[in-house]
């Protein structure tokens, strides 16, 4: 022990310690191990972190802010269980894990996952095979029935729930979503009640986009009227954001849960915009890092560019016919990011050429 070493031996003791350390550090085995670990970390930093599955590209709602042609270009509407099985097999392989570090799997991109008849079987499978990966789901709660809510909560199949609740009355809700508010509210309240009863620690994020918020944000952000808002008199339109929020805020479990106004994006208005009028020097891809780190997988296995590419216009490859890793390394994907990073939106074409519609607007 250093404190028992007499004063004149301090120096000798330190030299011995330093030599030992240097010997260890310079040992070829040690150097090799450190280099390999450093390279691994560097590689993983460039790899994937998120898998975004579209278990269903169908939806029971028809939101004013969601593109009318969403998912139309891909005929397969439901992702089969076998595709999730293959994807999971790949992401749990040692080869894949040397390059990528998946933190979360979302099941509900570009549609409503609860319309897939195998959704519970898929969630159970994911829980068993990848318990360490966070399972994320956004839904409008229409097809998240009481029976499914019971199973999901009892078995802890989802780690984070997101939901949009876009009005305080059946009428205002319908004006945004063309869907049945009473059923949605029934399911949502049941979820909140059962979660409490079962002591489930599953955060819920509720987002609100009222009719007023959407119309005024699009008007302010893009200078146009939303294509599916009908003839609106914006000056006399009232906003029921507070009423919507007040209906739910006291039922939530704070600070774990949140209820907030959504920042509006204009992906549903792309067809109204003439790309030749856009001054690209003003814009970046607003979610570039996220897009680079995510594999967006459509029901037929196509890996498409990003969540704001509603009609799956840019496809890098098919992860079921090949593999996630092959598509990750594909020339098409590489070229896409070269252009995107250099803001060559026009060269990429649709949907990135209307990059102004990908920005978030406030009202
Ligand atoms: C595209 S949806 C898909 C998942 C699911 N069907 C749902 O709506 O929750 C994912 C999230 O994007 C949000 N979203 C959709 N269109 C939007 C827009 N134009 N601006 C801002 N957020 C939008 C929705 O509120 C939803 O929470
Ligand atoms: S935003 Fe979600 S709930 Fe609304 S139509 Fe699109 S996919 Fe369906
Ligand atoms: S559509 Fe293109 S520019 Fe827009 S968010 Fe997606 S990748 Fe970025």
Question: Separation of 270 CA from ligand 2 center, angstroms?
Answer: 17
Question: Separation of 93 CA from ligand 2 center, angstroms?
Answer: 33
pLDDT at residue number 33: 64
Would the CB of 359 count as within 6 Å of ligand 1? Answer: no
Q: Ligand 2 pocket test: which of 52, 58, 66, 312 has the largest number of ligand atoms within 8 Å of its C-beta?
A: 66
Proximal ligand: closest to the CA of 163: 1
Would the CB of 195 count as within 6 Å of ligand 1? Answer: no
Question: Separation of 69 CA from ligand 2 center, angstroms?
Answer: 12
Query: Does residue 249 surpass a pLDDT of 60?
Result: yes
Mean pLDDT over 296-300 rounds to 98
**What proportion of the chain, given as a percentage, has pLDDT over 70?**
87
Q: Name which of 19-33, 49-63, 313-327 the model is least confident about.
A: 19-33
**Residue 234: pLDDT band with limits 50, 70, 90:** confident
| CA–CA separation, 298 and 201 (whole Å) | 30
Would the CB of 176 count as within 6 Å of ligand 2? Answer: no
| Mean of the per-residue pLDDT values of the chain | 92
Query: Which residues line the pocket of ligand 3, CB cutoff 6 A?
Result: 285-287, 291, 305-306, 308-309, 340, 351-352, 355, 358
Question: Separation of 114 CA from ligand 2 center, angstroms?
Answer: 12
Question: Separation of 177 CA from ligand 2 center, angstroms?
Answer: 8
ω into residue 255 within 30 of 0, thus cis?
yes
Question: Separation of 288 CA from ligand 3 center, angstroms?
Answer: 7
| Minimal-distance CA residue to ligand 1 atom 5 | 139
- The DSSP code sequence of 58-90 is --S---TTS-TTTTTT----B--HHHHHHHHHH
Q: What is the total residue count of the chain?
A: 363
pLDDT at residue number 230: 83
- Residue 17: other Cβ atoms inside 10 A: 11
Q: Phi/psi class of residue 264: alpha, beta or left (left: φ > 0; alpha: ψ in -120 to 50)?
A: beta
Q: Phi/psi class of residue 111: alpha, beta or left (left: φ > 0; alpha: ψ in -120 to 50)?
A: left
**Residue 232: pLDDT band with limits 50, 70, 90:** confident
194 close to 156: Cβ distance less than 8 angstroms: no
Q: Ligand 1 pocket test: which of 54, 65, 216, 286 has the largest number of ligand atoms within 8 Å of its C-beta?
A: 65
96-155 pLDDT, tens digit per residue, is 999 999 999 999 999 999 999 999 999 999 999 999 999 999 999 999 999 999 999 999
Mean pLDDT over 55-80 rounds to 97
Question: Separation of 63 CA from ligand 1 center, angstroms?
Answer: 9
Angle at 54 between CA 51 and CA 57, to 5 degrees: 165
- Helix (H) or strand (E) segment spanning residue 193: helix 181-197
Would the CB of 310 count as within 6 Å of ligand 2? Answer: no
* Strand, helix or coil for residue 237: coil
Would the CB of 62 count as within 6 Å of ligand 2? Answer: yes
| CA–CA separation, 344 and 219 (whole Å) | 26
Query: Does residue 171 surpass a pLDDT of 50?
Result: yes
Question: Separation of 310 CA from ligand 3 center, angstroms?
Answer: 10
pLDDT at residue number 26: 62
Read off the DSSP letter of residue 262: P
Nearest atom in ligand 2 to the alpha carbon of residue 140 is 3
308-350 pLDDT, tens digit per residue, is 999 999 999 999 999 999 999 999 999 999 999 999 999 999 9
Query: Does residue 60 surpass a pLDDT of 60?
Result: yes
208 close to 244: Cβ distance less than 8 angstroms: yes
| CA–CA separation, 201 and 206 (whole Å) | 16
């Amino acid at each position: 022990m250093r404190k028992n070493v007499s004063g004149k031996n301090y120096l000798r003791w330190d030299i011995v310690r330093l030599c030992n350390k240097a010997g260890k550090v310079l040992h070829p085995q040690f150097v090799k191990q450190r280099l390999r670990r450093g390279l691994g970390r560097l590689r993983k930093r460039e790899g994937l972190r998120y898998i975004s599955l579209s278990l269903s590209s169908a939806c029971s709602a028809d939101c004013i802010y969601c593109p009318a042609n969403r998912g139309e270009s891909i005929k397969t509407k439901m992702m089969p269980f076998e595709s999730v099985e293959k994807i999971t097999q790949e992401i749990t392989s040692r080869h894949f894990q040397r390059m990528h570090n998946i933190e979360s799997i979302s099941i509900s991109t570009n549609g409503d996952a609860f319309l897939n008849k195998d959704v519970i079987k898929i969630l159970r499978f994911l829980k068993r095979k990848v318990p360490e990966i966070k399972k994320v789901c956004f839904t409008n709660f229409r097809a998240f029935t009481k029976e499914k809510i019971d199973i999901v909560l009892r078995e802890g199949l989802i780690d984070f729930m997101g939901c949009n609740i876009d009005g305080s009355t059946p009428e205002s809700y319908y004006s945004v979503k063309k869907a049945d508010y009473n059923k949605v509210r029934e399911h949502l309240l049941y979820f909140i009640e059962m979660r409490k009863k079962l002591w489930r620690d599953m955060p819920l994020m509720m987002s609100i986009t009222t009719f007023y918020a959407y119309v005024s944000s699009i008007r302010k952000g893009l200078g146009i009227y939303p294509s599916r808002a009908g003839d609106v008199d914006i000056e006399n339109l009232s906003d029921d954001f507070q009423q919507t929020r007040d209906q739910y805020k006291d039922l939530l479990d704070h600070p774990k849960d949140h209820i907030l106004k959504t920042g509006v994006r204009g992906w549903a208005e792309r067809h109204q915009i003439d790309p030749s009028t856009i001054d690209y020097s003003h814009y970046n891809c607003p979610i570039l890092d996220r897009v680079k780190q995510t594999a967006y997988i459509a029901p037929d296995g196509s890996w498409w560019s990003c969540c704001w590419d509603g009609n799956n216009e840019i496809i890098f490859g098919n992860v079921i016919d090949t593999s996630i890793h092959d598509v990750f390394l594909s020339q098409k994907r590489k070229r896409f990011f070269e252009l995107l990073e250099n803001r060559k939106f026009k060269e990429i074409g649709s949907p990135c050429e209307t990059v102004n519609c990908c920005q978030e607007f406030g009202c």
